[in-house]
Every structure is written in C-alpha cells, then in structure tokens.
Homo-oligomer: A and B are copies of this chain.
Amino acid sequence: MAEEVINNNKQVILKDYVKGFPKESDMLVTTSTIKLKIPDDCHHAILVKNLYFSCDPYMRNQMNKVQGNDPYSLVPGSPIAGHGVARVIDSSHPDIKKGDLVWGFTRWEEYSLIRDPDTLFKIQDTDVPLSYYTGILGMPGMTAYAGFYEVCSPKKGETVYVSAASGAVGQLVGQFAKLMGCYVVGSAGSKDKVELLKNKFGFDDGFNYKEEQDLNAALKRYFPDGIDIYFENVGGKMLDAVLLNMKTHGRIAVCGMISQYNLEQPEGVHNLFTLVTKRIRMEGFTVLDYYHLYQKFVDMVLPLIKEGKINYVEDIAEGLESAPSALVGLFYGRNVGKQVVLVSRE
C-alpha cells in the first residue's frame, strides 16, 4: 500500500453564528490536516488547491442562524464557504483532470475536497489574471450580465442608476450600460471610488452617498427627468429615495441589499406605492438561474477585456490569514473594487 500524503490544511472557520456586523473574531484561522488524495469511495469528486477566495456580500447571509433547513447556511466550526479559483490536484470525475483550473463554490482552506464539482466551471482562458474568475469572469460578472441584460430590459438612451457602483458587480453594470448607450450614474462610499466610476469605468457621473444629507435630492440632481433602470445593490433608505425618482415603466433589478445584511431588523421601505403610480417592475434575481448563459457571457466579455474596452478593478488581500479582515471590510466599504484574497500563486 502506497504511503499516504497527509498535509497541513489551513482553514478559516466560522466560530459562531453572526449577529450584526461581522467581526474578524467571528472567524478563526486554524490548521487541520487533509489527505491529498481522493478517498476510494468518493466518485465524481475532485481535490483542489485553492488559489483565490472571493469576498462577496451574500456570504454574510450564510452566517445567520436560520430557522429550518437552508442549504446555504454555514455551520459553526466549519470553514467559510464561498466562490474561488482553484487548481485540481486529484480527480475521480470523468470530465475533470489533475492540473485543470476551475472556479466556483469552494471553502476557505488551502485544500478542499469537492464532492459535487458539477457546479464548477473549468477555466479555459488564462490570458487574463486568474483572479478575474472570482469577479468579472466569475459569479459577479455573470450576475451583472444577467441582471442588466436579462432583468433590466435596457434600451439605448435610457437613464441607469447603480448603487455600490464600484463593487464587483456595479462596476460592470455601469460599463454594460455605457456600451448600450445609456446615461449612467453610480454611487459609492468614498471620493476615490467616485473617481474610479468617472475616470476608470466611464460612468457619466457619480456621487458619494455618505456626503449626501438627502438622497432624494441627490438623485433629482443627477436624474432631473427620472431613472429608467435602477440596479439595486444596497436596499433600505437608498431604495426608498430611488422609488421617488423612477420614471414611468421603470425597472428595478434587485441584486442585493448590502446595507441591510447586518441589521437585526431590516429598515422599512415606505415608498412602494410608487410601483403603482409609475408602473414599475421590481424584480429580484440570483445568478443561479442564469448560468446557462455563461458561455455567451464569456464570449462577449473576454474580447472586451482583452481590447481594453472594459476595465476591472480588484482589491487583492494577500494570504489566507488576511481573508477574515478582507471579508469584514466589505461591509464597511474598505475595499476599492472587487475584494479578492490571494491564497496561493500556484
């Protein structure tokens, strides 16, 4: 019998369910061990070395104690789960082989045994930074694509507002909207981020929502004739202000509501009657329903990246140990651009 290779496996563990804003101390970096070989009884599985972790707002919701059975909820004592980029080091799956690069749902540890790799995507093109598969070429990119093209029903010349606009999804939505010939304004939480919107991503304009006493007045300034499309990433007071500024037959694609995730009770939204007076369609979506469009999306976006027609800004934290801080920072807006964690260069 061959000698088994047992390796240390650093992990980021969820210590307990989270209430309020997540803290670094809600997570623990620890070291367990793992055999770097797929168990014999484990068919259609792969063993990966994680290269990049993606920090995404939805991960906060997995840290809640939920009633009933939620397949996405984390269990305290287990590693954080999220999207990432990884290299396959062993495989019992017929279509995936050792050496392949994949992106998709993994866990926050150096090595992961993935028992259902059919949800992963193989990385075909490595002419772009691998980390892009946590962002522009991964789940957030696909989210922006599906949300904008499939949910917003955009038309040339329409006015588009994007909140959390410098984030992983928002920066792409704005650029897609510009490619379509829309007028696009974004909001973000710092002067530097607003500069990015205008100078890097080509938004027509942008504002720092933290400097606005009256969001309704701010939106009226940028959209004197109203908003056709709102790409909703934040919820709460921002949504309430947007509802007052929508045009007739406007559309709101609800991608996320990051401002609400750390509240015990979500804020109340008061202006929903404008849905009737303005005949607004407000539609929630998740990227899970749109992955059948992934190849079409890549075929569109990859050339645009290579030709420099789409820009992407990442904020890369180095080392697995930095992952808790990077994730927590997301909810304070500390990241500038897509928050990634570099776990290993190889």
Question: Residues of A with Cβ closer than 8 Å to B?
Answer: 235, 239, 254-257, 260, 265-286, 289
Contacts and interface: CB of A to CB of B under 8 A. Distances in A.
A280 B276 contact: no
- By Cβ-Cβ distance, the 4 closest A-B pairs, closest first, are A268-B268, A275-B284, A276-B284, A281-B283
A281 B277 CA distance: 17
Contacts of A269: 268-270, 272
A284 B289 contact: no
Which of A239, A257, A282 is the most central at the interface, judged by chain B CB atoms within 10 Å of its CB? Answer: A282
A5 to B, nearest CB: 41
Contact of A280 (B267, B277, B280, B284): B284
Nearest to A257: B273
Contacts of A265: 270
A279 B268 contact: no
A266 B272 contact: yes
Specify how many copies of this chain sit in the oligomer: 2
A271 B266 CA distance: 7
B286 A282 contact: no
A282 B151 CA distance: 12
Contacts of A268: 267-270
Contact of A273 (B235, B270, B277): B235
A260 B280 CA distance: 18
A276 B286 contact: yes
A223 to B, nearest CB: 16
Given A254-B276, A283-B283, 14 more contacts: A254-B275, A255-B276, A256-B276, A257-B272, A257-B276, A265-B270, A266-B270, A266-B272, A268-B269, A269-B270, A275-B283, A276-B286, A281-B282, A282-B283
A300 B265 CA distance: 46
Contacts of A255: 276
A276 to B, nearest CB: 4
Given A266-B270, A267-B268, A268-B270, A286 B275 contact: no
Nearest to A256: B276
Given A267-B270, A268-B267, A271-B266, A285 B279 contact: yes
A239 B284 contact: no
A56 to B, nearest CB: 13
Contacts of A267: 268, 270
A12 to B, nearest CB: 25
19 contacts: A235-B272, A235-B273, A254-B275, A254-B276, A255-B276, A256-B276, A257-B273, A266-B270, A266-B271, A267-B270, A269-B269, A269-B272, A274-B284, A275-B282, A279-B286, A281-B281, A281-B283, A281-B284, A282-B283
A280 B280 CA distance: 14
A281 B282 CA distance: 6
